[in-house]
Amino acid sequence: TEVFRKRKDAVRSRHPTHSVAAIGGKAVEITKDHKVGPALGPGSPIDKLVRWNGYILLLGVGHESNTTIHYAQQLMEPSNLEEGDVRIFDNGKVKVVHLTNWPTAGFGRLLEVMEPIWKKSGIVKEGKVGKARVKIMRARELVKSIIKELRKDPTIILCHPEGECKYCDRVRKAYAEGKLVIKDVPEK
């Protein structure tokens, strides 16, 4: 990530907890306005990547580093996104900013369920660059596949036993009460 971010042609968003670096023709467009607003929600770089069906490249890391999966989680209500105040450095001074749509939970069994599906379907293509394992996929296809499986079994997202995680407990309660909502993946 740091090697990519430090490239001369990389454009970085200014979000205090989930900044994104982009390279290419839409780098400015994908990172602009990503300052203090939603880390992953509507208008975020990940949202744009999904809407534009851009590529995700994982170089030397697995899906546990794939922030797009948190984007898919936020399409559930209740979502795993919280809000709160954080301190940031801005021009050498400490400043408190209020953040919304900030992911707080893990992936639960999601990766265990999804990785064989992605492999079989060809959504995720794997290879090597030098000695590094590489995974490449289209953002929208990845998110759609997650939503499809969450609609079959929303408990795959749960990461903690009952009483150990606010988010997991909210999902359990909503599911038990028939109030769990899973939204469609946004198109363009």
Helix residue ranges, H only, the chain: 2-5, 27-31, 45-51, 68-73, 110-121, 139-152, 166-176
Digit-by-digit pLDDT tens for the chain (188 residues) are: 688 889 999 999 988 878 889 999 999 999 998 877 667 778 889 999 999 999 999 999 998 888 888 888 878 876 656 677 777 777 888 888 776 656 666 667 778 888 899 999 999 999 999 999 999 999 999 999 999 998 998 888 777 778 777 778 888 888 889 888 888 998 87
Q: Report the SS3 class of residue 73.
A: helix
Cα–Cα distance measured from residue 37 to residue 156, given in angstroms and rounded to the nearest whole number: 28
Residues contacting 55, CB < 8 A, separation 6+: 136, 137, 138, 139
Per-residue model confidence (pLDDT) at position 107:
64
Assign 64 to helix, strand or coil.
helix
Which pLDDT score, from 0 to 100, does residue 146 have? Answer: 92
0.75 surpassed by pTM: yes
Q: According to the model, what pLDDT value does residue 82 have?
A: 66
User: Which of 30, 43, 71, 3 lies closest to 13 in space, CA to CA?
Assistant: 30
